[in-house]
Amino acid sequence: MSGLGPLPIIGAFVLLVLFFMTLLVRQYRRCPSNRVLVVYGKVAGQRAARCLHGGGTFIIPLLQSYAYLNLEPMTIEIDLAAALSKKNIRVNVPSTFTIGISTEPDIMNNAAERLLGLSETDVAHQARDIILGQMRLVIATLSIEEINQDREKFLDLVNKNVSTEVNKIGLELINVNVRDITDESGYIEALGRKAASEAINQAKVEVADADRSGAIGESSAQREMSVEVAQQNAQSVMGQKLAERDRRIEVAKLEASGVSGEADANRSKEVAVAEQEALAVQGRKKAEADQRVQVASLEANAVQGENESRANIADYEATLAERQADAKRRGEVALANSSRDVLVAEKEQVLARLEKEQIAQQMIERTKVEIDADAEAERLRRIAQGKADAVLASYKAEAEGIRKVLESKASGYENLIRVCGERKDLAPALLIIEKLPELVAEQVKAIQNLKIDKVTVWDSGTNGADGAGGSTSNFLRGLIGSLPPIHELAEQAGIDLPDVLGRVKETAEEETDASSGETQPGTDAPAGGLPS
């Protein structure tokens, strides 16, 4: 032994060192960038595991072990259907969530405690359940308008609620993508139609306002155009009120349909629960009846066995007879009790069937009648409101048209007085001349159906008692004397009188007939002459 020298000892030491070095190298674990290294077993502090993202660590043999958590994102499709919103309208919110294991120290420890060893499918399943619950919670706090129009608010609430819950199991929310939101009642579609209708109506109103502004600018020269513009404005307002009335009616119908559907579902649920409770009561009563019958049968068998064993003893024949009678009596009592229990169960079953088939149906019919009556009353009220709005708009449009006409007439009268200047007395004459065609037309209507072949004037031609001429000569003299004022009035009005009334010549002086005492202006008599 002493002859071997120190070389074998040194070799053995070297081999031992190499063995430990190899063991140390094999126990050192590096963590890739797309994973989390979880060291569990004996770790520092009170933690159940130690998580490491990046770098490496030494795994103590026998005391520690390790595993990896994958950091690759997971995409979860959430087809949320029939979620109840704030206004009790069920909506469908299909969305896509991207989640992954967080690299925050506290959240990584949650993942190590709750997700270590689970497959990606199991992790996605747990996350889907949490997301569905939080989505329903968020939707229940928002109305349809807030969900559909204010997407930023909706997504913020979803991110906040879902992130808080998934962090508890070690996950973090990376992205949320909400697709088209729909509802079973068609309320969102009705909102879209309402917005489109309002935009179209607003465009029509703007066009009508532009046309009305142009018409008002020309109203000083064209009174008729202003009246037409007023009528068009009235028709535009009536169209807007009709569209708004139709929209209110449609929205009321949709709301009534949603309430009716939900009431039907609740009634169906209550009826089903009542049926199951009745079946449970029936089964329980039947089981109790069977139990009692079985107990009675077993007791009867036991009594019968006792009686048979004691029948072999002659000394107890009297006692046996008594006990037989007693057993018979108890058997009859038990049988009577069983029959009574069966009858009670049948009675309860009949009552439950009656309640299911008649009372529940009557309650459903009564609720349906109440809902129909409320819907009909609301419909009649909205129709009456729409008619009242239409009548009010019509009266307003008619009043506006009359006001425009009166304003135009007032402007025309003001211009007429301004043109007349100092001759204010000409304005009434011009207005009367403007109405002459209408007056003549009315006078012609008064005599147009009279059939007159000729007119005969009978006059003796002699002078009257006071020296004046006859009635015919007086008539002609007065007619000729009134011609100059008529010509003057026609000239002022710019009207040409017919030739039969002659022409008025302006002369420097007037001739006076001394014998007749009449002033004769220079007048051309009509063709054929007129007697004086």
pLDDT of amino acid 97: 92
Q: How confident is the model at residue 480 (pLDDT cuts 50, 70, 90)?
A: low
Overall average pLDDT of the 32-37 stretch: 84
Question: What is the tens place of the pLDDT at every residue in 78-129?
Answer: 888 888 888 788 888 898 999 998 888 888 888 888 888 888 889 889 899 9
Distance CA 359, CA 76 (A): 48
Q: How confident is the model at residue 509 (pLDDT cuts 50, 70, 90)?
A: very low
Length of the chain: 532
pLDDT of amino acid 526: 42
**Residue 116 corresponds to which tokens in the numbers above?**
């270590």
Query: What's the one-letter identity of residue 63?
Result: L
pLDDT of amino acid 455: 57
- Bridge partner residues of 77 (DSSP): 96
Overall average pLDDT of the 187-209 stretch: 73
Q: Look at residue 421 and tell me whether its pLDDT is greater than 70.
A: yes
Q: Look at residue 36 and tell me whether its pLDDT is greater than 50.
A: yes
For helices 360-420 and 223-311, what crossing angle results, to 10°? Answer: 170
Distance CA 295, CA 300 (A): 8
Question: What is the tens place of the pLDDT at every residue in 451-475?
Answer: 666 555 555 555 555 555 566 666 6
Query: For the purposes of burial, counting CB atoms within 10 Å of the CB of 395, is it exposed (0-12), middle (13-18) or buried (19 or more)?
Result: exposed
For β-strands 74-84 and 56-58, DSSP reports them as unpaired
Judge whether 227 and 401 are in contact, CB under 8 Å.
yes
pLDDT of amino acid 118: 85
pTM score, two decimals? 0.36
Write down the CATH number for the domain with range 72-184. Answer: 3.30.479.30
Question: What is the tens place of the pLDDT at every residue in 135-173?
Answer: 888 888 888 888 877 888 888 888 899 988 988 888 898
